[in-house]
Amino acid sequence: MMKKKLLSVLLVATMVATVFVGCGSKSSDSNSTEGAADSTAANSDYKIAMITDSGDITDMSFNQTTYEAAKAFAEENSVEFQYYKPTEDSDDARIASFENAVTDGYNVIVVPGYLFAGMIAQVAEDYPDVTIIALDCSEFDFSDAGMDTLPENVCSFTYQEELAGYMAGYAAVKEGYEKLGFLGGMAVPAVIRYGYGFVQGANDAAVELGNASDVQVNYVYGGQFYGDDAVTAQMDTWYSNGTEIVFACGGGIYTSACEAATKVDGKVIGVDVDQSGTIANQYGDDSLCVTSAMKGLAATVDATLTDLFAGKWSNYAGKIENLGIVSGTDPSVNYVQLPTETWSMKNFTTDDYKELVSKLYDGSISVDNSTDAMPATEISVKEYDNIH
Amino acid sequence: MEDYVIEMLHITKEFPGIIANDDITLQLKRGEIHALLGENGAGKSTLMSVLFGLYTPEKGIIKKDGKEVKINNPNDATDLGIGMVHQHFMLVDIFTVLDNIILGSEPSKFGFLTKAEARKKVMDLSNKYNLKVDPDALIEDITVGMQQRVEILKMLYRDNDILIFDEPTAVLTPQEIDELMKIMKDLAAEGKSILFITHKLNEIMEVADRCSILRKGKYIGTVDVANTTKEELSSMMVGRNVKFAVDKEVAQPKDEVLKVENVCVKSKLHSNDSVHNVSFNVRAGEIVCIAGIDGNGQTEFVGALTGLDDISSGKITLCGEDITKKSIRYKNTHGMSHIPEDRHKHGLVLDYSLEENMILQRYFEPDFQKGGLIKKNEMRKYSDRLTEAFDVRSGQGAKTIVRSMSGGNQQKAIVAREMDRQHELLIAVQPTRGLDVGAIEYIHKEIVKERDNGKAILLVSLELDEVMNLSDRILVMYEGEIVGEVDPKTTTLQELGLYMSGAKRDDRKEAK
Amino acid sequence: MEKTSFFKRPAVQTLLASVLCAILGIILGYIILCFMNAEHAGEGMAAILTNFFKYRIASTNTLMKYMGSFLVKSVPVILCAEAILFAYKAGLFNIGVAGQYTVGIIAALYTSLALGWHWSLCLLATIVAGAVWGFIAGCFKAFFNVNEVIAGIMLNWIGLYICNIILGGEKCMNQSKSETFEISDLNPAGLLPGFLQDVFGGNQYMTIAIPITIIIAIVILVVLNKTTFGYELKATGHNKEAAKYSGMNAKRNIILTLVISGAIAGMAAGLYYLTGVEHFKISSSVPGMGFNGIAVAFLGGLHPIGAIIAGLFVEYITLGGQYLNTNYYNPQVADLMISIIIYLCGFVLFFRTILNRPGKVKVNANAEPNKTAKKAEEKEV
Beta bridge partners of B281: B259
Q: For residue A115, give the chain C residue with the closest CA.
A: C177
Q: Which of B153-157, B222-226, C58-62, C369-373 has the lowest mean pLDDT?
A: C369-373
Q: Quick check: C130 and C101 in contact, CB under 8 A?
A: yes
Q: In this complex, which of C1, C247, C364 lies closest to B20 when CB atoms are compared? A: C364
Q: Which of B114-118, B422-426, C204-208, C274-278 has the lowest mean pLDDT?
A: B114-118
Least Cα separation, residue C375 to chain A (angstroms): 34
A193 and A162 Cβ atoms separated by less than 8 Å: yes
Same domain flag for B294 and B381: no
What residues of C are in contact with residue A23 (Cβ under 8 Å)?
Answer: 42-43, 45-46, 49
Q: Which residues from chain C sit within 8 angstroms of residue B358, using beta carbons?
A: none
pLDDT of C359 over the 50 cut? no
Cβ–Cβ of C42/A99 closer than 8 Å?
no
What is the reported pLDDT for C324? 84
How big is the A-C interface in CB pairs under 8 Å?
105
pLDDT, tens digit (0-9, with 9 covering 90-100), for A338-353: 988 888 888 999 899 9
Render pLDDT for B451-499 as a digit per residue (tens, 0 to 9). 998 899 999 988 777 888 888 999 998 888 898 898 888 887 778 877 8
Domain assignment present for C194: no
- What pLDDT band is residue B170 in, cutting at 50, 70 and 90? low
pLDDT tens sequence across B257-310: 999 999 999 877 666 788 888 999 999 999 999 988 777 888 889 999 998 888
Three-class DSSP category at C277: coil
Q: What is the CATH number of the domain that holds B441?
A: 3.40.50.300
Contact B40/C at CB under 8 A: yes
Nearest to C284 among A85, A115, A388 (CB): A388
| Range of lowest pLDDT (A180-189, B165-174, C213-222, C229-238) | B165-174
Residue C101, domain member (yes or no)? no
Report the residue from C27, C30, C322 with minimal CB separation from A100.
C322
Last-in-domain residue among B413, B446, B466: B413
Q: Are A151 and A128 in contact (CB under 8 A)?
A: yes
CA distances to A87, A131, C11, C346, C350 from C17, in Å:
28, 48, 10, 11, 8
Residue A163: pLDDT band with limits 50, 70, 90: very high
- Residues 6 or more apart whose CB falls under 8 angstroms from that of A104 comprise A49, A82
Q: Averaged over B115-135, what is the pLDDT?
A: 84
Task: Decide if B343 is inside a domain.
Answer: no
Q: Are A51 and A84 in contact (CB under 8 A)?
A: yes
Mean pLDDT throughout B416-425?
Answer: 90
Band (C349; pLDDT cuts 50, 70, 90): low
Instruction: Please say if the pLDDT value at position C75 is more than 90.
Output: yes
Q: Nearest residue on chain B to C242, judged by CA atoms?
A: B346
B222 in the same domain as B297 = no
Lowest average pLDDT, out of A90-99, B90-99, B391-400, C1-10, goes to: C1-10
Q: C87 or C284, which is more confident? A: C87
Residue B341 belongs to some domain of the structure = no
Nearest to A90 by CA among C273, B84, B478: C273
Q: What's the whole-number average pLDDT of chain C?
A: 83
**Closest chain C residue to the Cα of B73, Cα to Cα:** C358
| Nearest one of C123, C49, C99, C140 to C287, comparing CA atoms | C99
Beta bridge pairs of residue B36 = B197, B212
Domain with B508, as residue range(s), is 243-335+422-512
C372/B contact by beta carbon, under 8 A: yes
B259 lies in the same domain as B232:
no
Residue C375 has pLDDT above 80, yes or no: no
Residue B393 counted as domain residue: yes
Virtual CA dihedral for C77, C81, C83, C87, nearest 10 degrees? 160
* Shared domain check, B217 and B110: yes
Cβ distance C327 to A26 less than 8 Å, yes or no, reads no
Residues of A in contact with C169 (CB under 8 A): none
Domain boundary among B413, B432, B461: B413
**Dist CA A381 CA A219 (whole Å):** 7
Alpha-carbon span C16 to C327, nearest angstrom: 36
- Give bridge partners of residue B37 from the DSSP assignment: B198, B213
Give the mean pLDDT of C110-116: 91
C369 in contact with chain B, both atoms CB, cutoff 8 A: yes
Percent of chain C with pLDDT over 70: 88
Give yes or no for C364 touching B (CB within 8 A).
yes
Same-domain status, B280 and B194: no
How confident is the model at residue A204, as a pLDDT? 92
Inter-chain contact C228–B406, Cβ cutoff 8 Å? no
pLDDT classification of C273: cutoffs 50, 70, 90: very high
Q: What stretches of B226-316 show up as alpha helix (H) in DSSP?
A: 230-238, 298-306
C115 or A6, higher pLDDT: C115
Residue B340 lies in a domain: no
- CB contact under 8 Å between C164 and A388, yes or no, is yes
Q: Is B327–C244 a contact, with Cβ atoms under 8 angstroms apart?
A: no
| Cβ within 8 Å, pair B406-C366 | yes
The least confident of A115-119, A229-233, C56-60 is C56-60
Give the count of domains, chain C: 1
Q: What percent of chain B has pLDDT over 70?
A: 95
> Does C67 map to a domain?
no
pLDDT, tens digit, for every residue of C1-43?
344 566 666 677 778 878 888 888 888 888 888 888 888 888 8
As beta bridge partners, residue B224 has B210
Q: What is the dihedral of CA C24, C28, C34, C40, to 10 degrees?
A: -60
Residue C257, pLDDT > 80, answer: yes
A85 and C331 within 8 Å at the Cβ level: the answer is yes
* Amino acid B438: pLDDT: 77
Tell me how close the Cα of C158 comes to any Cα of chain A, in angstroms.
15
Question: Which residues of chain A have a CB within 8 Å of the CB of C322?
Answer: 84-87, 93, 96-97, 100
The reported pLDDT for the residue numbered B507 is 65
The answer to whether the complex's ipTM is over 0.85 is: no
Q: Is A224 in Cβ contact with C284 (below 8 Å)?
A: yes
Residues B289 and B384 reside in one and the same domain: no
∠ CA B342-B345-B351, nearest 5°, is 125
d(C-alpha B494, C-alpha B475), whole Å: 15
The mean pLDDT value for C102-121 works out to 93
Partners of C373 on chain B (C-beta within 8 Å) are 216
pLDDT score recorded for residue C356: 59
User: C353 in a domain, yes or no?
Assistant: yes
pLDDT at A109: 93
Min Cα–Cα distance to chain C from A87, Å: 6
Of B375, B395, B413, which residue constitutes the final position of a domain? Answer: B413
User: Do the chains contact at C228 and B364, CB–CB below 8 Å?
Assistant: yes
Chains contacting C (3 or more CB pairs within 8 Å): A, B
Whether B375 and B444 map to the same domain: the answer is no
Nearest by CB: B17 against C1, C360, C362: C1
Q: How far is CA B360 from the centre of its chain?
A: 22
Res C30: pLDDT: 87
Contacting partners of chain A (3+ CB pairs under 8 A):
C
Return the pLDDT at C364. 39
Average pLDDT (B335-357) is 89
C314/C308 Cα distance (integer angstroms): 10
CB contact under 8 A, C367 and B400: yes
Residues B123 and B254 in one domain: no
Report the mean per-residue pLDDT for chain A: 83
Question: Under an 8 A CB cutoff, do B327 and C249 touch?
Answer: yes
- Percent of all residues in chain C with a pLDDT value above 90, rounded to a whole number: 34
User: How high does pLDDT run on average in chain B?
Assistant: 85
Q: Is B370 on the interface with C (CB under 8 A)?
A: no
Residues B322, B396 share a domain: no
Q: Are residues B445 and B394 in the same domain?
A: no
Supply the pLDDT for residue C168: 85
- B94-109 mean pLDDT: 82
Strand A179-184 and strand A108-112: the pairing is: unpaired
C125 — pLDDT class (breaks 50, 70, 90): very high
Domains and CATH numbers, chain A: 48-159 (3.40.50.2300), 161-295+335-383 (3.40.50.2300)
Least trusted range by pLDDT, from A240-254, A281-295, B131-145: B131-145
- pLDDT of C162: 93
Of C66, C176, C284, the CB nearest to A188: C176
What pLDDT sits at residue C85?
A: 93
What is the average per-residue pLDDT within A282-302? 87
Neighbours of B (≥3 Cβ pairs closer than 8 A)? Answer: C
Q: Do C246 and B331 touch (CB under 8 A)?
A: no
B347 in reach of chain C (CB within 8 A): yes
Top pLDDT among A27 and C51 is at C51
Q: Say whether residue C56 is in contact with chain B using an 8 A CB cutoff.
A: no
Predicted local confidence at residue C112, as pLDDT: 92
- Does B345 contact C238 at a Cβ distance shorter than 8 Å? no
Is there a domain that residue B345 lies in? no
Closest residue to C365, CB basis, from B41, B347, B361:
B41
Q: Does residue B169 share a domain with residue B48?
A: yes
Average pLDDT over residues B368-383: 90
CB contact under 8 A, C364 and B369: no
Supply the range of the domain harboring residue C34. Answer: 9-58+300-339+346-359
Residue C272 host element (H or E): helix C250-273
**In terms of domains, do B140 and B258 share one?**
no
B220 close to C (CB below 8 A): no
Residue C132 has pLDDT above 90, yes or no: yes
User: At residue A41, does pLDDT exceed 50?
Assistant: no
Q: Is the pLDDT reported for residue C86 higher than 90?
A: yes
Partner B contacted by C176 (CB < 8 A): no
Is there a domain that residue B195 lies in?
yes
pLDDT of residue C56: 80
For residue C352, name the pLDDT band (cuts at 50, 70, 90): low
| Cβ contacts of B46 on chain C, cutoff 8 Å | 364-366
Query: What is the number of domains present in chain B?
Result: 3
Q: Give A33's pLDDT tier (boundaries 50, 70, 90).
A: very low
Average pLDDT for residues C213-229, to the nearest whole number? 93
Please give the model's pTM, rounded to 2 decimal places: 0.74
